[in-house]
Structures are given as C-alpha cells and as structure tokens.
C-alpha cells in the first residue's frame, strides 16, 4: 500500500473537485478503469471528479479517496501543509469532515 499526501484540494473547472499530488505517475491514469467518475489529469497532477450533480464536495472527496484506494491501492492523506481552494473555512471544514470519515473507513479495513 502506497501513501501519498494531497498537496491541494481545490474546486477546478466546471465545479469539479481536484485532489492534487506532488508528482505524476503513469500508473494513476488507470483510475479510469474503475468507471466511477474519477480521472487523472496529467497536466494538473490531480485526480478530478466529473462535474458535480447531486453530490456535494464532502461526498465527492469520500468517493474519490475510496475509489483510488480500491482501484490503485493508494491511500491519499491530508496533512497540515495541504492547501484548500477556495480557502474559506466552510469548504475546508467540509473536506476535513470527509477526511475523518475516510480514515475511519480505512481503519475498519485493517
């Protein structure tokens, strides 16, 4: 199992959620095989969602981290250096809440 720190969580073009990583790996592109609305953007170095429809960013974050874990066996983590865009507290708190739920889920898998 590989652990990678998310450098930035951001709302990108058309309201998609982006999870930015420190570097690219050709392996990340295989996430499309999960057919789950999660894709790797090699230009931005981020996993991105499809355009949000019925899900909020909290749900998308949980979904993306779960799909990346199950599909690529990569655990994405947030730390105190992770940036948030927009930088408002509401968005940041929504993602941090989702991150707590993801950590609980990952712990239950062990």
CATH assignment at residue 48: 2.20.20.40
Model confidence band, residue 101 (pLDDT cutoffs 50, 70, 90)? very high
Element (H, E) at 65: helix 57-72
pLDDT at position 105: 82
Percent of the chain with pLDDT over 70: 97
Task: Residue 84: name the closest of 6, 5, 3 by CA.
Answer: 6
For 39-49, what is the mean pLDDT? 96
Indicate if the alpha-carbon torsion angle 59, 62, 65, 67 is positive or negative.
negative
pLDDT at position 106: 76
**Token representation of residue 82:** 């992770």
Number of domains in the chain: 1
- Structural domain that includes position 22: 2-109
Does the pLDDT of residue 54 top 80, yes or no? yes
Taking only the tens place, the pLDDT of each residue in 64-94 is: 999 999 999 999 999 999 999 998 899 999 9
For 34-57, what is the mean pLDDT? 93
Does the pLDDT of residue 11 top 90, yes or no? yes
Model confidence band, residue 110 (pLDDT cutoffs 50, 70, 90)? low
């Amino acid at each position: 199992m590989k652990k990678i720190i998310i450098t930035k969580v951001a709302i990108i073009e058309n309201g998609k959620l982006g999870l930015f990583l420190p570097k690219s790996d050709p392996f990340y592109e295989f996430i499309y095989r999960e057919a789950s609305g999660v894709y790797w953007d090699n230009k931005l170095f981020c996993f991105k969602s499809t355009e949000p429809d019925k899900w909020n960013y909290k749900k998308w974050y949980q979904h993306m981290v779960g799909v990346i874990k199950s599909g690529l066996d990569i655990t994405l983590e947030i730390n105190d250096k992770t940036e948030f865009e927009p930088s408002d507290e509401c968005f940041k708190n929504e993602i941090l809440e989702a991150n707590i739920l993801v950590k609980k889920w990952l712990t239950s898998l062990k």
